[in-house]
Structure 1
Amino acid sequence: MDQKNGSSLTGFILLGFSDRPQLERVLLVVLLIFYLLTLLGNTTIIVLSLLDPHLQTPTYFFLSNLSFLDLCYTTSTVPQLLVHLRGTDKSISFTVCVAQLFVYLGLGGTECILLGVMAFDHYAATCMPLHYTVIMHPHLCALMASASWFIGFVNSSLHTVLTFLVPLCGRNKIDHFFCEIPPLLKLSCVDTTVNESELFSVSVIIVLIPVALITFSYGQIVRAMLRIKSVLGQRKVFGTCGSHLTVVSLFYGTGIYIYLQPSNNYSQDQGKFISLFYTIVTPMVNPFIYTLRNKDVTGAMRKVCVGAMTPDD
């Protein structure tokens, strides 16, 4: 058989959950509800950060960046999945598949770095409160956010190009619900060890550097918390940092399972459900994790709601 690379294909078939038709109907309803909640929760945080002057701080600047990122992250895969769950046509064009992989990886890499930046912001706010406004200057915040997006999409460009250079020999049935690297590499008719090694090495860098920053930041935060004599002060610090650590654990835990394990240990079925978790569940719960115990956000929400219901004179 002649070897054909991805560019010779006109499209792919995303098998998704087609071997479980009963599950597809359940997933259609559940994922639609989850997606709407994701849109509502993340849009609310972005709008509140723009409307309330008390939330126009570095912490909420990064949080609104994360919410916008989660909106894009979910939208890059879930609407197409809902369409596929609703009908029998599971096809996706080659161009859309490439674009989906590029955007999805770019947003994922950006979130990895942004979570590390947010940990540094919490460290500066807790450990250096008197110098916080000087350290976290608006220009520095914008620079760190921009660098996160830039590095994320440079990493995505590398992965996307290397993935679609692999010969597929005309194979076009992807055993997944969106275009992701591990199932795409399984279509190859040649040895993909080099690609897998490259994916592992770069993923380690993208993950370990932010994790090191997060570990350092929270190590210093814990030391600072032990010096705080006020129980109220300790609770405030713990509430903010605890929310961030929960989001970090959810995001990194699922990402490590997919990208930092040997390919021979990778279960396609488990991979699908783990991917469902970090493409829809994590972006949905993030706004609730950050807002349920956050008095600043809930207070801003009440003010906006009261202002909207109060008629103008």
Structure 2
Amino acid sequence: MASSTTRPDVQGSQAQGGAQGPGVARRLLDSSATLSYDPLTEVDWETPLDKDFHGASPEWCTLFGTAYWNEMTEVQRRELTRQEAASVACTGIWFEMILQQLILRDVYAKDASDDTVQWALTEIADECRHSIMFARGARKLGAPAYRPRRLAVELGRAFKTVAFGEAAYAAILVAEEVLDVMQRDWMRDERVVPFVRTINNIHVVEESRHMKFAREEMRRHLEKAGPVRRNIHAFVIAVAAYVIVTSMVNKKVYANAGLDEERALAEARANEHHKAMLRSSCAGLMDFLASCRLLTRPALAFYQRAHLI
């Protein structure tokens, strides 16, 4: 069984995925061949869960800094971070299933010998492994199979059916960017249970390539977008971002951690610390969307409601 501590592979992956211009897909394929993981062997699934560890960095907990947090015991705090980490993982599975369908539709009936199509298929394979990894991780954390609320599920069903071009790739980018920042914190935090740190390291390394590809595809599609299409997609992307971010932490995590769900929800909604963490995590993403002229006034309203800006 491989070690369950994080490995210093992120910088190497970013460097390999950072080139610009033609040949991006080929460079990403080469990077994937050099640096990819099999979670079934890389993650320590056998060692029993050590409940002396958190499931995520406490600072990322939705109740961190609240009066309720200050009243909680360390045992309760650790359990809540484990439940929230599991909820984020389950939301990740939901969205990875959506993005796999988006990518498949984008490359359907295209030349499979083309590097771009081969990279898209490689990304889908990565996401399949990630989904299994997240599911096993959530189960090991002692959490149920958290699912987004019914409205989010149905909106996701519609989005994966009709979204195309820059809207599809921007939604992928939004979901992965938010996860990327928090998971970089978690994977380096020795308070977090080791197998979760390994999961986060794998995801950060491999998603850095996915985000590079999404940015390139967004730019390519937007070259053909007129003002009407650009404004419509700016709004659709913002709504998708709102649904994704507000679905990350299921409200049932509080009861499952032994807390008063009603009080916890109220304090989490008013938690300025958590809102600031989200805004900080999305600073680079918002700069990129602004450079693409996708931060229209209607879009900004949804990003502000999701505390991303």
**TM-score, normalization by structure 1:** 0.33
Q: Which has the larger radius of gyration?
A: 1
- Identify, as 1 or 2, the structure richer in helix: 1
**TM-score, normalization by structure 2:** 0.33
